[in-house]
């Protein structure tokens, strides 16, 4: 049940007012997010601001643009890593890349890209498969702060060992260190990897389709939405894919019970890769 429909407690009323104000004043809609996760994140934001009530958080957000930015960061989910779920990328390499070779130009949408780890992962994979030069990758997120990090392509050097392990398990074909330069405890990815990437702000909840795509990756995003919001996003993704286009969702996500469950065929059931067939 949406927090907007739960009027049983004063707290739920405060949360409802907060989310309504964020939506109507700033165009960001969290009203249909999964209630338990949302409530936890709101209270984390309350404590992080040194406050004790949700209404106090609302007052701070309304008068402080920086406070709004911090709230959006708190409410959105930005936990990711390069080649996260290596089995997905191995399946993509083995089952999707061969299908893409017939296309003279490939549009790929990485929806909810967070700080860009998945974007650079797929760019590396496509380069190794000889496909990157004919690709345009659209990397979008609702949060401009995380998009800035994604554009930089700079990650802590301390996580490169983990990322290298993921890369190798994903079928990587080259020394992973060749894709970045180490400097001041950070790994800076090669500028050539950004050559065919467009970073842009896009809200899956409120914005419409902006192109037709051969591939859409929307992984580990919808698990935080309730069923109504998942339905809305699935309709957006379906309408944005060309026929026989590829959809990749997260390990804990599924097309079951969605409006378009029967419109896709499984390309890899374990990796959650589907092909639009009608």
Measured CA distances, 81 to 11, 52, 72, 119, 155 (Å): 35, 33, 20, 10, 10
199 compared with 67, residue with greater pLDDT: 199
Q: Is residue 241 one of the residues assigned to a domain?
A: yes
Task: Assess if residue 81 is contained within a domain.
Answer: no
Do residue 67 and residue 140 come from a single domain? no
Query: Quick one: 16 and 94 in the same domain?
Result: no
Nearest to 192 by CA among 203, 180, 210: 180
Beta strands in the chain (DSSP E): 106-111, 135-141, 154-156, 180-183, 186-189, 197-201, 213-218, 241-249, 264-268, 273-276
Q: What is the per-residue pLDDT for 1?
A: 43
The answer to whether residues 113 and 233 belong to one domain is yes
- Of 1-5, 122-126, 136-140, give the lowest mean pLDDT range: 1-5
Per-residue pLDDT tens over the stretch 27-54: 678 888 888 888 999 999 999 999 999 9
DSSP 92: I
Mark whether 69 and 201 lie in a shared domain: no
Number of independent structural domains in the chain: 2
pLDDT tens column, 69-116? 788 878 876 668 999 999 999 999 999 999 999 999 999 999 999 999
**pTM assigned to the model:** 0.84
């Amino acid at each position: 049940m949406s927090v907007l429909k739960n009027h049983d407690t004063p707290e739920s009323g405060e949360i409802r007012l907060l989310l309504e104000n964020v939506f109507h004043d700033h165009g960001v809609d969290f009203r249909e997010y999964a209630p338990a996760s949302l409530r936890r994140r709101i209270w984390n934001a309350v404590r992080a601001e040194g406050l004790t009530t949700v209404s106090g958080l609302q007052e701070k957000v309304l008068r402080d643009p920086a406070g709004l930015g911090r709230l959006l960061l708190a409410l959105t989910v930005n936990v990711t890593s390069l080649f996260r779920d290596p089995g997905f990328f191995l399946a993509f390499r083995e089952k999707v890349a061969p299908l893409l070779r017939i296309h003279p130009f490939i549009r790929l949408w990485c929806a909810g890209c967070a700080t860009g780890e998945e974007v650079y992962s797929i760019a590396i994979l496509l380069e190794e498969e000889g496909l990157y030069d004919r690709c345009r990758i659209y990397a979008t997120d609702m949060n401009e702060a995380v998009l800035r990090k994604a554009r930089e392509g700079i990650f802590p050097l301390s996580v490169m060992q983990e990322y290298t392990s993921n890369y190798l398990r994903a079928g990587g074909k080259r020394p992973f260190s060749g894709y970045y330069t180490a400097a001041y405890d950070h790994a800076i990815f090669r500028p050539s990897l950004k050559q065919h990437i467009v970073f842009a702000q896009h809200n899956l909840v409120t914005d419409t389709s902006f192109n037709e795509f051969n591939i859409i990756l929307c992984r580990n995003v919808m698990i935080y939405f309730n069923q109504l919001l998942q339905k809305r996003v699935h309709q957006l993704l379906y309408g944005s894919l060309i026929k026989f286009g590829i959809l990749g969702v997260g390990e804990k996500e599924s097309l079951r019970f969605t409006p378009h469950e029967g419109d896709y065929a499984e390309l890899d059931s374990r990796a959650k890769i589907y092909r639009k067939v009608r």
